[in-house]
């Protein structure tokens, strides 16, 4: 059975930076019942508390953070790069441990965004980019989806079962 790495906040767990959660989403709950879900919050896994100050990547590029070229900073100006990288490493450990090829991560997050993130100005401006964990997973060959792309992943999984 294909295992899927899923952001804990999308499963209704209150781990978001503001102590909130998203979901639960029906497909994610179905996959959870089927025993497919391996859950993680990279920011919490990296050692950050809940709640925590919002963080962004200047220019929104998680791959540049992994390469040591950009920091992740909080709205208060605190560098939290090490925690974000540690969280990405935890997610990669789970991927290797469970043979995971697919992930569903929270859209626009500085850890998990797979298509766009915020620009680092803390003004709500979104730009094309990916979070630190999403970049690490993509570089490891994992296909990363967000909560608006569940139907696409479900189609892919269904096609594999035939």
Average pLDDT over residues 110-129: 97
Would the pLDDT of 91 be above 70?
yes
pLDDT of residue 162: 64
Task: Pull the structure tokens for residue 91.
Answer: 């997610």
Domain count, the chain: 1
Are 49 and 74 in contact, with CB atoms under 8 Å apart? no
Q: What is the pLDDT of residue 86?
A: 98
Residue 49 pLDDT exceeds 70: yes
Q: For 131-140, what is each residue's pLDDT tens digit?
A: 999 999 999 9
Please give the radius of gyration of the chain, using alpha carbons only, rounded to the nearest integer: 15
pLDDT for the residue numbered 160:
82
Dist. CA 93–CA 122, nearest whole Å: 31
Quote the CA–CA distance of 18 and 12 in Å, as a whole number: 13
Using a cut of 0.85, tell me whether the model's pTM lies above it.
yes
Domain span at 55: 4-161
- Mean pLDDT across the chain: 96
Q: Which residues contact 91 (CB under 8 A, 6 or more apart)?
A: 5, 40, 42, 45, 103, 133, 136, 137
End-to-end CA distance of the chain: 13
């Amino acid at each position: 059975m294909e295992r899927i790495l899923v952001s804990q906040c999308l499963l209704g767990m209150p781990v978001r930076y503001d102590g909130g959660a998203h979901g639960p989403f029906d497909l994610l709950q179905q996959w959870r019942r089927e025993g497919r879900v391996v859950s993680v919050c990279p920011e919490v896994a990296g050692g950050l508390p809940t709640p925590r100050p919002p963080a962004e990547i200047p220019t929104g590029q998680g791959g540049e953070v992994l390469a040591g070229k950009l920091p992740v900073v909080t709205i208060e100006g605190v560098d939290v790069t090490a925690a974000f990288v540690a969280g990405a490493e935890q997610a990669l450990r789970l991927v290797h441990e469970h043979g995971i090829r697919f992930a569903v991560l929270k859209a626009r997050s500085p850890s998990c965004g797979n298509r766009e993130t915020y620009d680092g100005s803390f003004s709500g401006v979104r730009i094309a980019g990916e979070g630190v964990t999403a970049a690490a997973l993509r570089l490891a060959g994992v296909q990363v989806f967000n909560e608006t792309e569940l139907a696409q992943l479900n189609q892919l999984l269904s096609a594999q079962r035939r």
